Structure 1
């Protein structure tokens, strides 16, 4: 906290008129010339490294009393090293993968460049508009939609008694709203927040308002939810803020006013009137998806400007967050594949209407139907209304339930493998997203068929006996999660049965639920997430052209380059994983046999999830078979992490120097592999002695300790 003398000095400086500070690029040049890191400068000025980054990127300006101290330091450096001519342009910034604090033009500047930036500062801006950071050559950004010139979202905080909105690009707006209903009105009429649709026939993204703890309290909300409210996931309907909204004719969705709330009025003249609200202090941004407790990356503790950049970058590359990352992953599917469009009369070319004068809508090819598709008994999870006739704790077996899951398999090392010095784990990049690419899934309803001929081109669920598929005992079965050989007939998704045929084994399905109406529904979803992932990894210094040791070094360095970008990266990966898991959302606090809310949406499609997970597991097994031809056999697999014995601690110690087609290959592209972790063979033997011969060391290869399971949900 500044002293009274410092504040008086700051006031005197204002009265005397403050000298103009050097431009941001010049500040960075002077600091580099002096050989001072951003972290050291931040320590001297008693601020954060991120603040230094912001000052040098032009996103914000220092405030008194630090402004005077910073000005004095810059003046001293100018005297020592001279001022750069204003006529000479600054050298373009390039990313070299340096660690945080070592480069003035580092990824924080690229976060700003990646997010939508206002074309001109708002008249209500409290600070100068952000200056664009000079980055490595890139395609010219698309024109900013004037409706959303302030970006997709704003983070609201309270400063000196005034509510301010931190937008992307460093823009900060005054918020005149005194109540939550007036805040919603201001957002829709004056904020110019939102994002254009991702598909020409889709919907624009509603503006997102993120409330810090101080802003939540300012608008009459509790700083934290009570235990009862947290269990319910919402405020009680009688809360004063809910009453204020109802009195102003604003409505809430069925999930009520929780950490993520949608506040709306019915559309008028085809225009949506909806605002998405996110209350950070209510744990709206799950630290497991957006942060890292071990590294102190907590969304709720980020300064509002930094949080706006993190969420803005995610919004520009993926989608404006609409709930948890899993919810956002599901919403992204619909945003890229809208279900329907208005229908035209083929003869007149005019819009068709029904007897009530309402526009008739027709399904868009390649999308899911707007109406619910009837569930299939073998595909639904326990507790579904289709299974209400079963006893409460009845355990269905593989012949009754489709059990397409990722691997959870392990085996003891052979005597020869024990002579190796290490066990090394490698991990698939964006495994579920990669598996979704090109996978043909069912779109319409299923057709039940008895004794069908197998057709690999038709997605569906097949009851078939694959117990006769006999492989090397050092390899897991490709048809079960545990890697154990099937014991009899079981339900499988099409990719699993097709793989048995490719291995040369005959199949004779007993029955099937087939979906002739099919397509590559998830392809645009994969492309959007892949591009977001690769762009973020490139900002962290890892690009697709890197291979071998160069790739491993870049991956290791990326973990310390920029904490904010790391948060964006985690959220992108969680969106891919959670979106697939959300396709088969299970009941929560719902009586057995009763429908739960997720069943009411067309995107509740457990068959699509099963097809993706089956594809993911089969891709892994196909690569395992390729490696086995080289005499290399895995000892454990957990989801997308696989462990091999090795003569050293690096993946390069066991992977082929020149990988052939279909073999494991290191790289950043989704579907390729990265280093997960390594331990000594003695450590592995100790795990087997402690927990049994079928211990899955892939679960703990990274940390050497306990790890959570990963089942795609």
Structure 2
């Protein structure tokens, strides 16, 4: 009889009543339980519980009875009308490290979390010098379902105000891996891991667009949504029939051969590749149908997609950590579209799309029209003085002609140094200070040309009009300059770089200058009389939104690393000490953001690379509306002028002069090893208009300290009395390769 009773009990258990899938999930979340906790209690896989909640599968005995029992008890505790605790404010299961978790999303079917590595190598700094490996620091990347990190980190910079876009609920990207169990996995932001059924690259692309729910909402009204990014691990490459590394020939061409079997698979499935082919950053697409895009981008780290100068050894991270790092960058900047330089340029376009939809016409139809404030969809010719050597505009020049300053706009960053004075040699230290995000600060509020230039003879200089101006500034004497309204200062001109040339030399005659350089000459109290100009009457503050987004990304990540914007000088220096070791992954994001700034500005005047190019012929970049050497020149001009202005204010107030300046780094002889030993602070307040310690763009941080004996010894060793010590002040290492730079 007992056997009959057992059979009846089993029959009843097999039909144990269960609430609807949505209610199952509500009850679990109401009690603060994760999928992992429920799975562990029932001795099933996490994906199994996720499937029950999604309605994809139903539990079977013996788990069904236990699951029904759990849900029944939870229903008594949490009636249907009871409020559910917010996932964005609940206490996390483990102490949270500063991070950028993904916004809350619904758990998809076949989802699981995996353990992750607890460290990555120390990132490469902005000047590409390698540092020792970081101290291991545990980083939790497993994504809780019902518990979140503190609210201050719950919404990444750039998240849509209305919350998560349901089309992209799994985030902007996924790292695709093939595990030891023979399963393809997609590691998404926040620790989410999806099972991927695709058995080929074409099927993977289809899955991404139909089921992956990956992508990024557009950054501006007239813009386009960001395409999903798939990062392929070495195991995934092998699984899908792609090489783990490229041959030497493939690295040179930047792609695998057109006859590769995977490319043939894509062609048979009616997928296309862009002109750059299947390389480290491949774009796979079908022609757009109306406003609907069908495009997926691939990133292949083992093919050198992630430059170690900016991403350190990111490509060697475990999939979950790689997804977290790239996801943080994507949320705060944008989904990577290629190198940091390419992404910096793409961000400009994403924030100022070239076209927009017009107002309805008489028939009610809309059409595409120019988007005011953008660069438009067609490239414009540069002025001859703005053209780099080899440009088609210069095709008629003699082959070995060396252009003079009166023929070419030479706005570049500082590379200047001088011998130490006797008094400076008696001081024990050389201290370097570095301007944070200097080129971003140079772009902030800058008016640049939006359209083509207009040639003007004998113009009257207008500081509000962007352009290039031919003028003689050799008469300007920096020994006496205006440092404030009606206030002049006497300076030792032999100890100062000129603000008008990258090498700091005094101009010798007429030369081309960008508007910010001439405006500074006027600010210093001198008249300027241009004889010619190429000006842009169509202009605007095109880079403001670009600056704001990159500034916010930088400041938010630095705040996560413990370096806030409201610190005293002493607190700031203490917070910067070892900040990279607090979370090496976020430190890499900082380096990538900086590289996005510099690379994006540099990309505005991209030079030909290979392509069988010969001087006088056009190259591929010239076809872009974002090939704008005039904008690059204006940003660099303003950045150099910003540095000189601070140097002059400091010299006028303290009598101290830099011994070397390299781009955004200045080196001073000092009685102490800290910037506070020579920067003038009074009651915690810096010199107005001078150098100020802090994390904000345009403020300065400590770059490094070496001894004066080191500096003199290096110069003597290489027989270079004016070797630029700012290049080596960080760690003091100088190599034979460096000495000639």
Task: Please state which band the TM-score falls in when normalised by the shorter chain.
Answer: 0.7 to 0.9
Equivalent pair of 2:660/2:668 in contact (CA under 8 Å): yes
Paired with 1:255 and 1:516, the residues of 2 have a C-alpha distance of 36
| 2:386 maps to 1:379 | yes
Partner of 1:315: 330
Task: Evaluate the alpha carbon distance shift between residue 482 and residue 214 of structure 1 in structure 2; reply closer, same or farther with a 3 A threshold.
Answer: same
Equivalent pair of 2:649/2:690 in contact (CA under 8 Å): yes
| 2:734 maps to 1:706 | yes
Partner of 2:374: 367
Give the match's secondary structure for 2:202: helix
Equivalent pair of 2:414/2:662 in contact (CA under 8 Å): yes
Paired with 1:206 and 1:89, the residues of 2 have a C-alpha distance of 30
Deviation for aligned residue 1:91: 14
2:676 to 647, 652, 656: 652
Q: Can you give the 5+ residue segments of structure 2 that lack an aligned partner in the other structure?
A: 1-30, 37-84, 114-141, 479-492
Give the match's secondary structure for 1:532: helix
Deviation for aligned residue 1:547: 2.1
Paired with 1:92 and 1:603, the residues of 2 have a C-alpha distance of 43
Partner of 2:95: 105
Give the match's secondary structure for 2:667: strand
Paired with 2:664 and 2:587, the residues of 1 have a C-alpha distance of 20
Give the match's secondary structure for 2:175: strand
Partner of 1:329: 344
Alpha-carbon deviations, 1:216-264, whole Å to 9, x = none? Answer: 1211111000000000011111111111111111111111111001100
Paired with 1:564 and 1:654, the residues of 2 have a C-alpha distance of 33
2:469 to 436, 439, 462: 462
Deviation for aligned residue 1:137: 4.1
Equivalent pair of 1:212/1:281 in contact (CA under 8 Å): yes
Deviation for aligned residue 1:269: 3.0
Task: Evaluate the alpha carbon distance shift between residue 338 and residue 135 of structure 1 in structure 2; reply closer, same or farther with a 3 A threshold.
Answer: same
TM-score normalised by length of structure 1: 0.81
Equivalent pair of 1:458/1:516 in contact (CA under 8 Å): yes
Alpha-carbon deviations, 1:681-712, whole Å to 9, x = none? Answer: 11122233234222110000111123899xxx
Partner of 2:213: 192
Give the match's secondary structure for 1:309: helix
Partner of 1:435: 442
Paired with 1:544 and 1:174, the residues of 2 have a C-alpha distance of 42
Alpha-carbon deviations, 1:397-432, whole Å to 9, x = none? Answer: 211111101100000111111121111000011111
Paired with 1:349 and 1:562, the residues of 2 have a C-alpha distance of 58
Q: How does 1:189-268 map to 2 (within 5 A)?
A: 189-268=210-289
Task: Evaluate the alpha carbon distance shift between residue 695 and residue 153 of structure 1 in structure 2; reply closer, same or farther with a 3 A threshold.
Answer: same
Equivalent pair of 2:444/2:547 in contact (CA under 8 Å): yes
Give the match's secondary structure for 1:473: helix
Q: How does 1:172-571 map to 2 (within 5 A)?
A: 172-291=193-312, 298-345=313-360, 348=362, 350-352=364-366, 359=367, 361-471=368-478, 472-571=493-592
2:106 to 91, 116, 120: 120
2:723 to 681, 692, 695: 695
Give the match's secondary structure for 2:284: strand
Partner of 2:644: 621
Equivalent pair of 1:94/1:105 in contact (CA under 8 Å): no
Give the match's secondary structure for 2:469: strand
RMSD of aligned Cα (Å): 2.6
Deviation for aligned residue 1:326: 0.3
Partner of 2:134: none
Deviation for aligned residue 1:634: 0.7
Alpha-carbon deviations, 1:381-403, whole Å to 9, x = none? Answer: 11211122224443222111111
Paired with 2:455 and 2:91, the residues of 1 have a C-alpha distance of 58
Task: Evaluate the alpha carbon distance shift between residue 104 and residue 24 of structure 1 in structure 2; reply closer, same or farther with a 3 A threshold.
Answer: farther
1:147 to 142, 145, 167: 167
1:608 to 631, 643, 667: 631
Partner of 2:618: 595
Task: Evaluate the alpha carbon distance shift between residue 349 and residue 412 of structure 1 in structure 2; reply closer, same or farther with a 3 A threshold.
Answer: farther
Task: Evaluate the alpha carbon distance shift between residue 137 and residue 316 of structure 1 in structure 2; reply closer, same or farther with a 3 A threshold.
Answer: closer
Alpha-carbon deviations, 1:651-673, whole Å to 9, x = none? Answer: 00000123122110000011100
Equivalent pair of 1:400/1:490 in contact (CA under 8 Å): yes
Q: How does 1:155-166 map to 2 (within 5 A)?
A: 155-159=175-179, 160-166=181-187
Bigger shift: residues 164-173 or 593-602:
593-602
Paired with 1:506 and 1:601, the residues of 2 have a C-alpha distance of 37
Deviation for aligned residue 1:156: 0.5
Deviation for aligned residue 1:369: 1.7
Alpha-carbon deviations, 1:496-549, whole Å to 9, x = none? Answer: 011111111121112111001000000000000000000000000000011212
Task: Evaluate the alpha carbon distance shift between residue 651 and residue 129 of structure 1 in structure 2; reply closer, same or farther with a 3 A threshold.
Answer: closer
Equivalent pair of 1:369/1:602 in contact (CA under 8 Å): yes
Bigger shift: residues 645-654 or 586-595:
586-595
Paired with 2:585 and 2:33, the residues of 1 have a C-alpha distance of 20
Task: Evaluate the alpha carbon distance shift between residue 349 and residue 481 of structure 1 in structure 2; reply closer, same or farther with a 3 A threshold.
Answer: farther
Give the match's secondary structure for 1:581: helix
Partner of 1:662: 689
Equivalent pair of 1:229/1:236 in contact (CA under 8 Å): yes
Alpha-carbon deviations, 1:599-625, whole Å to 9, x = none? Answer: 111000000000000000000011111
Give the match's secondary structure for 2:573: helix
Alpha-carbon deviations, 1:579-598, whole Å to 9, x = none? Answer: 00000001111222221111
Paired with 1:193 and 1:421, the residues of 2 have a C-alpha distance of 56
Task: Evaluate the alpha carbon distance shift between residue 338 and residue 92 of structure 1 in structure 2; reply closer, same or farther with a 3 A threshold.
Answer: closer
Give the match's secondary structure for 2:618: coil
Give the match's secondary structure for 1:614: helix
Paired with 2:258 and 2:88, the residues of 1 have a C-alpha distance of 57
Partner of 2:51: none
Paired with 2:293 and 2:636, the residues of 1 have a C-alpha distance of 36
TM-score normalised by length of structure 2: 0.78
Paired with 2:387 and 2:443, the residues of 1 have a C-alpha distance of 20
Bigger shift: residues 191-200 or 684-693:
684-693
Paired with 2:91 and 2:639, the residues of 1 have a C-alpha distance of 36
Equivalent pair of 1:205/1:320 in contact (CA under 8 Å): yes
Deviation for aligned residue 1:133: 3.5
Paired with 1:182 and 1:90, the residues of 2 have a C-alpha distance of 34
Give the match's secondary structure for 2:686: coil
Paired with 1:115 and 1:136, the residues of 2 have a C-alpha distance of 10
Task: Evaluate the alpha carbon distance shift between residue 24 and residue 494 of structure 1 in structure 2; reply closer, same or farther with a 3 A threshold.
Answer: farther
Paired with 2:724 and 2:91, the residues of 1 have a C-alpha distance of 43
